[in-house]
Structure formats: C-alpha cells, structure tokens
Amino acid sequence: MQVEYRSKEEIELIRVSSLLVGKTIAEVAKHLKAGVTTLELDKIAEDFIRSHQAVPAFKGYHGFSGSLCVSVNAEVVHGIPGSRVIVEGDVVSVDCGVLKNGYYGDSAYTFAVGEVSEDVATLMQVTKACLYRGIEKAIAGNRIGDISNAIQKLAEEHGFGVVRELVGHGVGKQLHEKPEVPNYGKAGQGMLLKPGLVIAIEPMINMGTKNVRQLKDGWTIVTADMKPSAHFEHTVAVDNIKAEILSSFDDIENSERENKNLCNVHTTQKNIV
C-alpha cells in the first residue's frame, strides 16, 4: 500500500468520522465508574456509533470482538471488552474507531477511575502532553522522525518508557494505512511530511519499562513489568503552518469533568516541559 494524500473534501469526511469517535468516547465516559464491566462500556459505544449511521471500525477487524479496545492499568492497548469489572483506582484507556461515509476516524483517551497516585496522574499528564508535542511537529517540511523524537524526548525526560512495538499510522479509506508513526526515533529522519497526509498520532507511554508482551488472547498488550500505561490519540491532517486536529477531546473532557466517579488529573496539570 502506498502513502495516500487526501483532498480537502476527503479530509472533511475523515473529520466527520473522527469527531464521532470523540463523541462516542464521551458517551462511554458518562458511564465509566467502578462496578461497570468493559463489555457494558463496549455495548454503549456500539449502540451510539450505529445510532449515528456509522459502523464500529474495530468490530470484526482481523477477528477482534469488540467495538472498543478497553485497556486497564498495565494493559497498554487492544484490551478485549468482556466480564472485567472496573474498580476504584483503575487507569482505563478507551480506544475507538468508526467508519462513516467510506472514511475512518480513530482516537483514544485514558481515564482515571476514582483517586490515583501522583505518579499515575503524572504519567497520564505527560502522555497527553506527548501527543500534543508530536502534533506540533506534524507540519509539511518536517519528517516522521520529528514527530517521533518529540514524543520520545518528553516521555523519557520524565523517566517513562516509550513502547516500540506499537505505532501510529495513516488513516483514510482504511483504518491502518501507511506511513507508520513511531513514538520514538531521530529528528530529521523518516518520510517527508506533505500537506494532505492524514495520520493517527498515538503515544503509548509506560510508567516503567518500555518493554511489552502479548497475552494469550492474541490481542491484549501489557507492560513487561506490569506497571501502568497510558494512551492518547488524535487523527490529524498535515498542513503547511500547523497540523489540523480532526478528532476532538472537547466532549470527552466535558464528560470527564461532569462524571464525579472520574479523577480529572488534567485540571490540576502541572507545567509539563
């Protein structure tokens, strides 16, 4: 598959799908609390997506059973929704994709259910900051490595591990397109960025080691030391002056603030530099 560059009309269609992803995660966030199962959250997401004349992108993808990836604590990504019950203190990554009007959108957000330690709050804050640090580099004339290096540098400055085996990717008529967008690398290297390129940037940052392993279910990726991980993702379009963020956290953050069962670690965010 070659790298695709999208027209303004196509980018607008990707934006529609990406914004629906954000609204879906926001709907899930309204119901996220101790005592709910990950499968219950998945059902909420699927119903919401289908009610908006769209299709859950993950459901059936290479045999995946869920509409969401719900990854808890040491689970980095690809957690399969099931009977697991969320408990106080859990760190919950909700990753969602939709297909609408022939184009995909993809985004992820990590929540804290109840109170979490200061170390965990910092991990979440830094991971979210890594996302925006990477987005700042997603401009025409830069290279993929500029995005990757910006994410890696900020994460490692805070002593966190940057996952190597999983990467961001192109988004468009397929859920995963070229190019790959690693969260580590050297500035000035990799593919040259041009206007019209649409990519999902998604830092996956671990509290401890960068190393991960896959569980026997064939999907779930966990940290090798079983310390917590965080994951934030936006779909963005490369442009000349600055990247255009096609997904949105606005509705998600509103739900996070309004849900008293969630600890909004970002309202007291320290100055992440």
Give the model's confidence band at 264: pLDDT under 50 very low, under 70 low, under 90 confident, else very high.
confident
Q: What percent of the chain has pLDDT over 70?
A: 97
- The domain limits of the chain are 8-258
Q: What is the DSSP string of the chain?
A: -PPP---HHHHHHHHHHHHHHHHHHHHHHHT--TT-BHHHHHHHHHHHHHHTT-EESSTTGGG---SEEEEETTEEE-PPPSSPBP-TT-EEEEEEEEEETTEEEEEEEEEEBS---HHHHHHHHHHHHHHHHHHHT-BBTBBHHHHHHHHHHHHHHTTPEEPSS--EEE-SSSSSEEEEE-SS--TT-SSBP-TT-EEEE--EEESS-S-EEE-TTSS-EEETT---EEE-BEEEE-BSSSPEE-S--HHHHHHHHH-TTB--TTTT-----
Q: What is the fold, at CATH topology level, of the domain defined by 8-258?
A: Creatine Amidinohydrolase (3.90.230)
pLDDT at site 268? 53
Mean pLDDT over 72-80 rounds to: 98
pLDDT at residue 60 above 80?
yes
Name the token pair of 186.
């050297």
Alpha carbon distances (Å) from 191 to 112, 182, 195:
36, 12, 13
pLDDT digits (tens, 9 = 90+) for 9-45: 999 999 999 999 999 999 999 999 999 999 999 999 9
Mean pLDDT over 131-151 rounds to: 98
Q: Greatest CA separation found in the chain?
A: 48
pLDDT at residue 270 above 60?
no
Q: What percent of the chain has pLDDT over 90?
A: 96
Alpha carbon distances (Å) from 229 to 84, 160, 248:
18, 9, 22
pLDDT digits (tens, 9 = 90+) for 213-261: 999 999 999 999 999 999 999 999 999 999 999 999 999 999 999 999 9
pLDDT at residue 271 above 70?
no
Mean of the per-residue pLDDT values for the chain? 96
pLDDT at residue 101 above 70?
yes
pLDDT digits (tens, 9 = 90+) for 168-187: 999 999 999 999 999 999 99
pTM: 0.96
pLDDT at site 1? 67
